[in-house]
């Protein structure tokens, strides 16, 4: 298995797709448990969408990467497209986030932005690396997806537990 042979990466992407699907289901449970409160607090609906976006992007990309026989250029384009799309979508949510209304300090909000954007930025680096066939390739995709899932889990924790404080 090397960083530039997508067909050899079926097992990791299968595990990631399954994990992302399970986490997406748990997110819907968290939202349904606290739906009334999420709808009342300004900014929490967009936070829920942000978490959903992270998980659906990971699930979608892992599933796409499981398609056998894809040329490396196609894989690179898919990874890069998802990474850029996530950065743009998350940034548009975060720019409009009512930080003060949610009671977030600048440091807390900055940490949220950095951790949410880490996975997508790593995907962009992975996509470029795949195009160049140098610098890590698919070995960057897995940590990018893990980073996105961890950021999503933190967001889901906020929606499930922290809003009750």
Tens of pLDDT, residue by residue over 10-69, are 999 999 999 999 999 999 998 999 899 899 888 889 999 999 999 999 999 999 999 999
Share of residues in the chain with pLDDT > 90 (%):
79
Which carries the bigger pLDDT value, residue 132 or residue 163?
132
d(CA 73, CA 98): 40
d(CA 71, CA 121): 23
* 91: exposed, middle or buried (Cβ count in 10 Å: 0-12, 13-18, 19+): middle
d(CA 114, CA 112): 6
Is residue 125 within 8 A of residue 137, CB to CB? The reply is: no
109, pLDDT greater than 80: yes
Q: Give the pair of three-digit tokens for residue 12.
A: 């990791």
pTM for the complete prediction?
0.93
Residue 165 has a pLDDT of 67
Residue 100 has a pLDDT of 72
Cα atoms found within 13 Å of the Cα of residue 153, Cβ hemisphere only? 11
d(CA 103, CA 81): 34
Backbone torsion region of residue 6, taken as left when φ is above 0, otherwise alpha when ψ lies between -120 and 50, otherwise beta: alpha
d(CA 70, CA 8): 12
Q: Give the pair of three-digit tokens for residue 133.
A: 């066939």
């Amino acid at each position: 298995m090397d960083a530039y042979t997508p067909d050899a990466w079926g097992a990791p992407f299968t595990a990631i797709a399954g994990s992302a699907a399970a986490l997406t289901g748990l997110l819907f449970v968290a939202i349904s448990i606290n739906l009334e409160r999420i709808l009342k607090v300004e900014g929490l609906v967009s936070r829920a969408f942000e978490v959903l976006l992270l998980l659906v992007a990971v699930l979608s990309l892992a599933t796409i990467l499981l398609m056998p026989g894809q040329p490396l250029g196609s894989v690179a384009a898919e990874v890069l497209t998802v990474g850029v799309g996530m950065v743009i979508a998350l940034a548009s949510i975060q720019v409009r986030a009512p930080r003060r209304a949610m009671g977030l300090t600048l440091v807390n909000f900055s940490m949220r932005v950095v951790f949410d954007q880490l996975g997508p930025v790593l995907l962009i680096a992975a996509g470029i690396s795949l195009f160049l066939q140098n610098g890590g390739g698919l070995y960057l995709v897995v940590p990018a997806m893990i980073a996105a899932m961890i950021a999503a889990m933190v967001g889901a924790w906020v929606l499930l537990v922290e809003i009750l404080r």
